[in-house]
Amino acid sequence: MEKKKKVVPKRLQGKVAIVTASTQGIGFGIVERLGLEGASVVVSSRKQKNVDEAVEKLKAQEIDAFGIVCHVSNAQHRQILVQKTIQRYGKIDIVVCNAAVNPSTDPILSTQESALDKLWEVNVKSSILLLQDIAPHLEKGSSVIFITSIAAFQPQVPTAMYGVTKTALLGLTKALAAEMGPDTRVNAVAPGVVPTHFASFITRNSEVRRASEEKTLLNRLGTTDDMAAATAFLASDDADYITGETLVVAGGMPSRL
């Protein structure tokens, strides 16, 4: 029996959303879902070609999309991202911090200092610095969402240090919810294993993939649509009384620190 296509609600009409690293994978799924729910969306990633292709795909679905090249570790890029968004739309309602790297699969005590610096820089520090630029422009009732990971709860090889940076985002969510409330809600989504290019080192091996599926209670990996739906919920007024929380979207995989 063919699976019915889900009806997407229009909860975000009139909203303006910035999503970092949003030309592929989970990031693109999120920016697409926010756009389908009525938001004007600002797409960004490091490569102009990827930005252009993503914007074209979104516009083909009658989504109001605008693209900007932004390497989140670059201060000038972050400032231009914010400036151009304000010039075009005059406000910002939703920020989704999705950019992340995993430059090393080594155990933590074998990880090169340069890799440690890059992990901290992109996965944690850049989100803080971007929000410092964005905060003065956020509307009352705005929403910030960090994309963390199931790996945040039990970091282990081959994603140990990556997992630790994602654990830091759980704390950042709590701290900023207190700092930015009551006008801005701050939450996080913790995806399970999703077969994207980013996670290909896990999902391309059929045995490893099957082992990951068996760790879930639903006996399947996640999809970008699963993560996008959870993010759109947290961004919407349906989550109006939720802040400082992490929504785990991992098919029932264990998620306790």
In this predicted model, what pLDDT tens digit does every residue of 81-140 receive, in sequence order? Answer: 999 999 999 999 999 999 999 999 999 999 999 999 999 999 999 999 999 999 999 999
Please report whether residue 178 resides in a domain. Answer: yes
Please report whether residue 102 resides in a domain. Answer: yes
- Tell me the backbone φ, ψ of residue 206, rounded to 5 degrees: -60, -35
Active site (annotated) includes residue 162: yes
Res. 2 pLDDT band, cuts 50 70 90: very low
Q: CATH code at 116?
A: 3.40.50.720
Please report whether residue 1 resides in a domain. Answer: no
pLDDT tens string 24-75: 999 999 999 999 999 999 999 999 999 999 999 999 999 999 999 999 999 9
**Exposure letters 207-228 (e unless 16+ CB within 10 A, then b):** eebeebeebbeeeebbbbebbb
Please report whether residue 216 resides in a domain. Answer: no
**Coil/strand/helix, residue 255:** coil
| Whether the predicted pLDDT of 3 surpasses 60 | no
Tokens coding 115: 């890799």
Alpha-carbon distance of 257 to 9, in angstroms, equals 34
Q: Are 247 and 230 in contact (CB under 8 A)?
A: yes
The verdict on pTM exceeding 0.85 is yes
Q: Nearest 10 degrees: CA dihedral of 123, 126, 131, 132?
A: 150
Please report whether residue 88 resides in a domain. Answer: yes
Please report whether residue 7 resides in a domain. Answer: no
Quote the number of domains for the chain: 1
Comparing CA positions, the residue from 191, 186, 154, 190 lying closest to residue 173 is 186
Q: Are 141 and 159 in contact (CB under 8 A)?
A: no
pLDDT tens string 152-178: 999 988 889 999 999 999 999 999 999
Full domain range(s) for residue 170: 14-192+222-247
Res. 21 pLDDT band, cuts 50 70 90: very high
Q: Are 12 and 34 in contact (CB under 8 A)?
A: yes
Please report whether residue 86 resides in a domain. Answer: yes
pLDDT tens string 176-201: 999 999 999 999 999 999 987 666 66
From 149, 162, 190, 228, the catalytic residue: 162
Residue bearing tokens 């990996």:
221
Comparing CA positions, the residue from 136, 135, 152, 153 lying closest to residue 144 is 135
| Whether the predicted pLDDT of 4 surpasses 80 | no
The per-residue pLDDT for 212 is: 83
Q: Which DSSP state fits 204? A: S
Write out 118-163 in H/E/C secondary structure: HHHHHHHHHHHHHHHHHHHHEEEEEEEEEECCHHHCCCCCCCHHHH
Please report whether residue 31 resides in a domain. Answer: yes
CB neighbours (10 Å) of residue 90? 10
130 Cβ contact partners less than 8 Å away, ≥ 6 residues apart: 20, 72, 78, 81, 82, 95, 97
